[in-house]
Amino acid sequence: MREIGVGILGFGTVGAGVAAGLLKNRELMAERTGMDIVLRRIADLDITTDRGVEVDPSVLCTDAFSVISDPSVDIVVELIGGCGIAGKLVRAAIEAGKPVVTANKKLLAEQGCEIFKLAQEKGVDVFFGASVGGGIPVIRALRDGLAGNRIESVHGILNGTCNYILTRMEKEGLPFETVLKSAQEEGYAEAEPSLDVDGFDTLHKAAIIAALAYGVQPDVHTLSVEGIRGAVDGADIVYAGEFGYRIKLLAVIKNDGESVEIRVAPTMVPRDGMLASVSGVFNAALIKGDLSDKTLYYGRGAGRLPTASTVIGDILDVARNLSSGQPRAFVIPRTRMPLRIKAKGEEKSRFYVRLSIKDAPGSLAFASGIFGNHGVSISAALQKEPGSSCGGFATVVIITHEALRADVDAALEEISESPLSGGVPHCFGIAD
Amino acid sequence: MREIGVGILGFGTVGAGVAAGLLKNRELMAERTGMDIVLRRIADLDITTDRGVEVDPSVLCTDAFSVISDPSVDIVVELIGGCGIAGKLVRAAIEAGKPVVTANKKLLAEQGCEIFKLAQEKGVDVFFGASVGGGIPVIRALRDGLAGNRIESVHGILNGTCNYILTRMEKEGLPFETVLKSAQEEGYAEAEPSLDVDGFDTLHKAAIIAALAYGVQPDVHTLSVEGIRGAVDGADIVYAGEFGYRIKLLAVIKNDGESVEIRVAPTMVPRDGMLASVSGVFNAALIKGDLSDKTLYYGRGAGRLPTASTVIGDILDVARNLSSGQPRAFVIPRTRMPLRIKAKGEEKSRFYVRLSIKDAPGSLAFASGIFGNHGVSISAALQKEPGSSCGGFATVVIITHEALRADVDAALEEISESPLSGGVPHCFGIAD
């Protein structure tokens, strides 16, 4: 039986999970694949902390470059993360002709183009299934299962922290800050939560999906990203429910044939649809192909063993390619006509808008008139009587017909500047 | 660019869909894979009917064997179905050293073992993604994405006709026969619906999943199968709802480490879970792996283009293996210790039971006493006052704790034989 040696760089949560999974299911994988996947080396600066997995001490070392150059290591698994040393190591492995499996979303979102180009020059595989969706084989579905489809759109709930917070805000009627604090105490949110709650983690994943689906390499710093902090409050969740929707932080990747929309924002999804059923820390991606129609992939978006499941799936693929002597030549598809990436405001959808307007005759007419002036047509509206604490301002909720975001924003700016306005409007797209 | 020739056997709904998909996305697939997938031949007894796809008339023929022997055909796509001529053609293609892509669930469920053995001897691929779940890459997820996992269980909604009927029965409060008739008129059910509504189609798919997950080849004729006809009525749907469940026709495939459970039955699923959200003709499979935990795959389980999407995904995989000269050697995993398949009645779960019992003092005590005698513990119970049309019989609904199905059946038999019983009990497992 052919032996394939694996070297892991980074012995953190996921690194320890991959080691545990490789050791636990080694025999099963050998039966399935006819290959013996052997854990040969693990590198980390800290090799003394107990990681909850028993590995032979001779496997551990502190020099990651020595793992790459070790002739018994056939596949390099990069689980350090970030664009610093991890990027250097990934490049060094490729230069050394060794295939790489990585879960590094930041590196791929920001430098994927160069890394895949280098991999193609050197004729080695770079697999990255665990960079999006943790334990959900969503990258694999896009790359293999749906490879015969034009991808029309991907709508993803790709950050477990945000989905956990939104789920509890809805179920328990609690404000964002309270749930965030509790999530931090329970280990569902980082002490510094910005990467998650402000949407950047989701954006990195959206960029990787867009690259895979459309061959575009967007500069993530120019993309539209809104998180849930300061954007979603309890009132929006309640009104969304009244209109038959639920609010989720969505990555939206869409191709209208001329340009690609890539953005992250709190978005309303139909309450009886599949995305609305994704609760707590779970993730999901709804992919629409021109042949397949809608397909959805759901599971744990993070965590030691679920992420390891996907990393190991990649290791097995790479091992098979090593056996056949043929790396996977098409990591990122190229389209002959590169698609333009939409600028902010160019996206079209229906929108939910919540306004606070002076409770005076003509206020609703005033607001809806401004929408009309900007070419935004109203589909449904709801005006609530002002509560005693609202200082004479009434809440108006509007659902628009399909409109251009820029037009909606222009209308909202005009309304905000009026003396009749009682606060910053809230606005979310609707993913029908 | 390497050309790969495809020959399609069977120009029905799916055959026409595959032809349409190959023609429509030929250039896109070439960009993605570096291979030109060329539709070379299509065989069908009827090559005059308009199939809604424009193919060069020279591609069409009525002799399927000539397609197999055509040297320009590299991959044979069998879309005839059934165990007759389709089986002969699949074997002939393998004997001729040509890889096969098929959507034939009946053939694989009944003769998969021999076919895969032959394929292994001849060193050719047999891919069968579209045999389960239509446009959902669920076979691929089991085979590739989750290849590093021990599969603990699969719960599948795998028949669109049944799910469509159950969805409408619940939403519109209509009886089975009414919805079936309407579904037949709308084209969602066959004129002869038994294969679907009596569970056999789902059973074939369950057998294929079990083969892939556990390397077992069950004799499908000995497996436990209950459909929805005569089993689920409106009252059950209502009571399921009162206890927080929805009824779905499920394929259940489970491994407790010693034996494998494979069965098809109407089953109650938690109403706030993902499976309960799968409505209408859509299908889904919930797969639990030891590393991945729960993952779910959802989409259209049938239909021209969705099924073609999966067939084409397989064609691309096979084409890549042809290019590398290395077929996929492990179509069905073998376990060194073949797992025993559970007999009927050996499965354990919680159960829902609906009884009709004489409305007399001590009736509920009588029924619950019998359960107790058979070692079945009751978790919740509900007794409804008898309606005027019930002839003095009250409805009793019982939810059990985890129990052995054989014990529940023995209790139900004893209750049925009592003069206090007013009809055949209804009993469904609960998939928690």
Residue B333 has pLDDT above 80, yes or no: no
Residue in B closest to A134 by C-alpha? B292
Q: How far apart are the CA of B284 and the nearest CA of chain A, in angstroms? A: 9
Share of chain A above pLDDT 90, in %: 84
Tell me the pLDDT tens digit for each residue of B74-115. 999 999 999 999 999 999 999 999 999 999 999 999 998 889
Q: Which ipTM score applies to this complex?
A: 0.94
Return the half-sphere exposure (C-beta side, CA atoms, 13 A cut-off) of residue B301.
Answer: 27
User: How many cross-chain Cβ pairs, A to B, lie less than 8 Å apart?
Assistant: 209
Say if the Cβ atoms of B293 and A300 lie within 8 Å.
Answer: yes
- Closest CB from A144, A277, A292 relative to B135: A292
Show which residues of B are catalytic.
Answer: 205
Residue A335 has pLDDT above 70, yes or no: no
pLDDT band at A113 (very low <50, low <70, confident <90, very high): confident
- Closest CB from A148, A294, A297 relative to B312: A148
Q: Is B230 exposed, middle or buried (0-12, 13-18, 19+ CB in 10 A)?
A: exposed
- Closest CB from B135, B215, B334 relative to A295: B135
pLDDT band at B334 (very low <50, low <70, confident <90, very high): low
How many other β-carbons are positioned within 10 Å of the β-carbon of residue A173? 10
Cα B18 to chain center, whole Å? Answer: 21
Indicate the DSSP class of residue A295. Answer: E
Tell me the pLDDT tens digit for each residue of A269-282. 999 999 999 999 99
Cβ-proximal residues to A115 (8 Å cutoff; 6+ apart), any chain: A87, A90, A91, A94, A107, A108, A126
**Is B324 touching A (CB cutoff 8 A)?**
yes
**Is B297 touching A (CB cutoff 8 A)?**
yes
To test the contact with chain A by mutation, choose from B26, B120, B248, B309 the residue with the greatest count of A C-beta atoms within 10 A, namely: B309
SS3 category, A390:
helix
pLDDT band at A325 (very low <50, low <70, confident <90, very high): confident
Residue in A closest to B334 by C-alpha? A31
Residue A212 has pLDDT above 60, yes or no: yes
DSSP E strands: which ranges in B62-150?
75-78, 100-102, 126-127
Nearest to B404 by CA among B256, B288, B295, B284: B256
Element (H, E) at A91: helix A85-95
- Closest CB from A150, A313, A325 relative to B145: A313
Residue B331 has pLDDT above 60, yes or no: no
Average pLDDT over residues A333-358: 84
Tell me the pLDDT tens digit for each residue of B3-52. 999 999 999 999 999 999 999 999 999 988 889 999 999 999 999 999 99
Residue B122's pLDDT is 93
Residue A337's pLDDT is 54
* Phi (first) and psi of residue A25, to 5 degrees: -110, 25
In chain B, the N- to C-terminal Cα span, in Å, equals 51
Residue A378's pLDDT is 96
What is the overall mean pLDDT for chain B?
Answer: 93
Residue A54 has pLDDT above 70, yes or no: yes
**Is A331 touching B (CB cutoff 8 A)?**
no
Residue A332 has pLDDT above 80, yes or no: no
CA dist., res. A43 & res. A429, Å (int)? 45
Q: How far apart are the CA of B301 and the nearest CA of chain A, in angstroms? A: 10
pLDDT band at B332 (very low <50, low <70, confident <90, very high): low
- Lowest mean pLDDT of A21-35, B321-335, B374-388, name the range: B321-335
Say if the Cβ atoms of B145 and A272 lie within 8 Å.
Answer: no
Residue A103's pLDDT is 96
* B402 neighbors B347 (Cβ within 8 angstroms): no
SS3 category, A279:
coil
Paired residues of A264 in beta bridges: A225, A251
Cα B210 to chain center, whole Å? Answer: 11
Residue B384's pLDDT is 79
Residue A228 has pLDDT above 90, yes or no: yes
Q: Which of A205, A254, A288, A342 is catalytic?
A: A205
Tell me the pLDDT tens digit for each residue of B209-257. 998 998 888 889 999 999 999 999 999 999 999 999 999 999 999 998 8
Better pLDDT: A192 or B328: A192
Share of chain A above pLDDT 70, in %: 97
- Lowest mean pLDDT of A36-50, A295-309, A373-387, name the range: A373-387
This prediction's pTM: 0.95
Say if the Cβ atoms of A313 and B28 lie within 8 Å.
Answer: no
**Is B354 touching A (CB cutoff 8 A)?**
no
Residue B37's pLDDT is 98
Q: How far apart are the CA of A308 and the nearest CA of chain B, in angstroms? A: 7
Residue A66's pLDDT is 98
Cβ-proximal residues to A134 (8 Å cutoff; 6+ apart), any chain: A160, A283, A299, A300, A301, A302, A303, A306, A307, A310
Tell me the pLDDT tens digit for each residue of B168-187. 999 999 999 999 999 999 99
CA distances from B114 to A84, A357, B73, B204 (A): 53, 73, 24, 16
